Amino acid sequence: MKAEMTAAVLYGKEDLRLERVAIPQAGAGELVVRVGAALTCGTDLKVYRRGYHAKMLKPPMPFGHELAGVVEEVGAGVTAFKVGDRVVALNSAPCDVCFFCRHGQQNLCEDLLFNNGAYAEFIRIPARIVEKNTLIVPEGVPLEFAALTEPLACVVRGLEESGTRAGDTMVVIGAGPIGLMFMHAAEIAGVEVIAVVKREDQIGAAKLFGAREVVHIGAVPDVVAATRALTPAGRGADIVIEAVAAPATWEWGVDMVRKGGVVNFFGVRRAGRR
């Protein structure tokens, strides 16, 4: 009889069950990782509410995709990792052979491999993800911090795609986890950050994560005018990151950017919602 573990399995819309399932075993090129930290992001929440993800997950299926942990078993042929290594394994890996991969657009890969099951005691990491998207966690970095690698990578890509340069002025609309990571990464890159936040309790967090100025939308009569007034010569920001995903903030982003600037509509809104 195979050893068992506890895992969360998604069966459908808001139907998530804790079950006893077999502990996975590592095949050739694979790892089994003992999960040390598993996070919940907006995608997990949307999938839970919808009951599926068109590309990533069809129920019933193990749930959760942001994790870090310790290697428990190493499959045949794996040389880059050993039992006991602290690792962060991302939840996808491109094929690197399709048209889009060969044109530097791996996010559009026609054969993107996904992996789910972070909400469990152990998770199997497929060979392609072991090879391409599994990283050693440096000593001193807590696993719960390392598990943020996937969303942080999205933020870094967003900064790169926006053409961010040191000395730019950037407005970040939204102070959720993604917005705060944008603020911090931009500050490290030498960017002057102006945060636009909804709640008063987000002001301190925005400053802590690198915002030079913070506009609290409940404290100003015109949020666009108040934000533009903080930019050089009042001409608007070089870059605006919209990290809320609401029609009103989409419009703000367009109105807050300078002529010739860039607006990155980073937030993703569910189809059909207004």
Looking at 131, 147, 163, which one is the last position of a domain? 147
Asked if residue 162 and residue 141 are part of one domain, the reply reads no
Asked if residue 213 and residue 179 are part of one domain, the reply reads yes
Asked if residue 117 and residue 18 are part of one domain, the reply reads yes
Flag whether pLDDT at 273 surpasses 50.
no
Rounded to the nearest integer, the mean pLDDT of the chain is: 94
Flag whether pLDDT at 26 surpasses 70.
yes
Structural domain includes residue 272: no
Structural domain includes residue 164: yes
Which CATH number fits the domain that encloses residue 101? 3.90.180.10
Structural domain includes residue 27: yes
Asked if residue 161 and residue 134 are part of one domain, the reply reads no
Q: Is 208 exposed, middle or buried (0-12, 13-18, 19+ CB in 10 A)?
A: exposed
How many domains does the chain divide into? Answer: 2
Per-residue pLDDT of 142-197, as tens digits, reads 999 999 999 999 999 999 999 999 999 999 999 999 999 999 999 999 999 999 99
Asked if residue 172 and residue 199 are part of one domain, the reply reads yes
> The domain containing residue 176 runs over which residues?
154-265
Looking at 114, 147, 180, which one is the last position of a domain? 147
Confidence of residue 274 (pLDDT cuts 50, 70, 90): very low
